[in-house]
Amino acid sequence: MPAGGAEAIPVVRSLQRRLLMLAPARVRVERGERVDAVMTSLGRALFWKDKAKVQRMLSKWSAEDLATVADRAGKLERSLMFTPTPDREALGEELLAIARKARSL
């Protein structure tokens, strides 16, 4: 776990990048495309070692859930950036909330 807000921001931004890649793909799945067809269309935009993880995420997470996580990640990033003393625990709490949600899917 990063020690402070400045170190936590790259973690949050990494999460946001993943969400930005997943959200449009999940919308396509919800419109009726098969997960494997969507995965194939991602091509080189998806690192080969991440393919199995991304496929599981596309199968589990709804577009609505991804939007909720993206909103919370944005709020967390702003909080970390603009709070005089960044709340290290906020990052841990958000990541734990995401993990709990993923486990329940």
- What is the mean pLDDT of the segment spanning 42-48? 87
Which spans in 1-105 are helix H? 5-30, 35-42, 51-60, 63-82, 88-104
Highest mean pLDDT among 33-37, 40-44, 82-86: 33-37
Question: Taking the model in full, what pTM does it have?
Answer: 0.80
58 C-beta neighbours (distance < 10 Å), count: 20
Handedness of CA 14, 16, 18, 20 (dihedral sign): negative
pLDDT at position 100 over 80: yes
- What is the mean pLDDT of the segment spanning 28-32? 96
Q: Which residues of 2-21 are buried (b: 16+ CB within 10 A; e: fewer)?
A: beebeebbebbeebbebbeb
Task: Report yes or no: 39 and 53 within 8 Å, Cβ to Cβ.
Answer: no
For the stretch 64-78, pLDDT in tens is 999 999 999 999 898
